[in-house]
């Protein structure tokens, strides 16, 4: 079981929900963590017709992105608690929390977390044979940076 982060900007939420509905059975096998509004929408999509699948989603909803949810998610990535990130961001709209968005994408790259930023990359990632198998990304050793001289 993996922990999967799901995030979408306002203009991309509908795309993410369609993708979640299409991949419902796969996603229900994993723990999900989402930012605010996206999380409530994902939860609603996954609990719709729950009697058909018989599974309840294991979902943690953080704060809304502009209210600190992106930073909360970044902290979870730093702690090794997120296995992959699906972040459908809107490249056409300025975001009030643009620096947080950039920081989240930077952290996912720094910690080598597989990250999908659009529907195509989300489809490739979820259909990978590695998706449901044990996989530990190779992390860069930052000891040289952490132990650098602090001559002031």
Choose between 77 and 150: higher pLDDT.
77
In a domain? residue 152: no
The 3-state DSSP class for residue 116 equals strand
- pTM for this entry: 0.88
In a domain? residue 151: no
Catalytic residue numbers read: 70
Following DSSP, what letter does each residue of 79-110 receive, concatenated?
Answer: TT--SEEEEE--TTS--TTHHHHHHHHHHHHH
d(CA 113, CA 100): 17
Question: Is the pLDDT assigned to residue 23 strictly greater than 80?
Answer: yes
Report how many domains make up the chain: 1
In a domain? residue 137: yes
Q: 34: domain CATH number? A: 3.40.50.1380
> Per residue in 91-104, pLDDT tens?
777 676 778 889 99
In a domain? residue 15: yes
In a domain? residue 95: yes
Instruction: State what percent of residues in the chain have pLDDT above 70.
Output: 95
Print the domain residue range for 16. 3-146
Choose between 123 and 67: higher pLDDT.
123
């Amino acid at each position: 079981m993996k922990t999967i982060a799901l995030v979408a900007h306002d203009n991309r939420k509908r795309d993410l929900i369609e993708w979640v509905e299409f991949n419902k059975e796969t996603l229900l096998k994993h723990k999900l963590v989402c930012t605010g509004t996206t999380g409530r929408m994902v939860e609603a999509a996954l609990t719709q017709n729950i009697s058909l699948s018989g599974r309840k989603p294991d979902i943690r909803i953080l704060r809304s992105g502009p209210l600190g949810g992106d930073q909360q998610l970044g902290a979870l990535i730093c702690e090794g608690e997120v296995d992959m990130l699906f972040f459908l961001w809107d490249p056409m709209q300025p975001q009030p929390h643009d620096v947080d968005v950039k920081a989240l994408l930077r952290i996912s790259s720094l910690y080598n977390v597989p990250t999908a930023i659009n529907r195509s990359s989300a489809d490739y990632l979820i259909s990978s044979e590695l998706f449901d198998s044990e996989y530990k990304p190779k992390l860069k050793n930052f000891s040289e940076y952490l132990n650098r001289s602090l001559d002031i």
